Amino acid sequence: MHRRRLGALLAGSLPLALAGCQTDRTADETAINDTTSGIPDFTTEEQAAADALDPDWPTGPYAAYETIPVVVRGADGGVRGAVVAAVADTRDKRRLGLSAAESMPSAGGMLFTYESVGDHTYVMRDMSFGLDIIYATADGEITEIHNAPEPGPDENGAEQTYPGRGQYVFEVNRNWTADNNVAVGDRLVFER
């Protein structure tokens, strides 16, 4: 989905699927517009968080990237936070990462996608700001969170390494996970 379609998506005109199949949802987590595929949509609370996002990200070299709202659901079922993520789904996009950005809005992020779960190591090469680097499994369960500061004055960040295992790597501004009480075991929720 392209950026110009994000407004329609956030308005609820397209179904948003939950990451993975959740079958133990409570009455408070009733889905909006369940699909016939068996994968539930955003809950009412998740949809409200996605609707509140400012779609003015990404910009600059990322302006043509696909975008997608990503909601983090806590292990207790509550929404922890939401961002509009630029999707890095090719080798070149994953290599560039956010190194060409001077900054990122507080409700912005980048979602790196892979074909399958694997071991990855992310670095802070040429970064102008700090990041939280979040690894997640195929069903969106968070397995690792790194709080990565921006490189020092005479550093390029290539020595700052952050390993993890997952099919998805989610980057947000540094301390976003702490500010939103995001922890290992929480889940990334987004359209697949």
Strands (E), the chain: 67-73, 79-88, 108-123, 131-136, 142-148, 161-173, 187-189
pLDDT of residue 38: 27
Answer yes or no: is pLDDT of 129 > 70: yes
Domain boundaries, the chain: 3-189
> pLDDT band at residue 55, thresholds of 50, 70 and 90?
low
Q: What's the mean per-residue pLDDT of the chain? A: 79
The pTM (predicted TM-score) of the whole model is 0.76
Q: What fold characterizes domain 3-189?
A: Jelly Rolls (2.60.120)
Least confident of 10-14, 32-36, 106-110: 32-36
| DSSP 8-state code for residue 31 | B
| Mean pLDDT, residues 38-47 taken together | 59
> pLDDT band at residue 43, thresholds of 50, 70 and 90?
confident
> pLDDT band at residue 54, thresholds of 50, 70 and 90?
low
Answer yes or no: is pLDDT of 46 > 80: no
Answer yes or no: is pLDDT of 9 > 80: no
Q: Which residues contact 6 (CB under 8 A, 6 or more apart)?
A: 55, 67, 69, 84
Give the model confidence (pLDDT) of 70-124 as tens digits: 999 998 989 999 999 999 999 999 999 999 999 999 999 999 999 999 999 999 9
pLDDT of residue 191: 86
Answer yes or no: is pLDDT of 36 > 60: no
The residue with tokens 């969106």 is 140
The Cα 191–Cα 92 span in angstroms is: 22
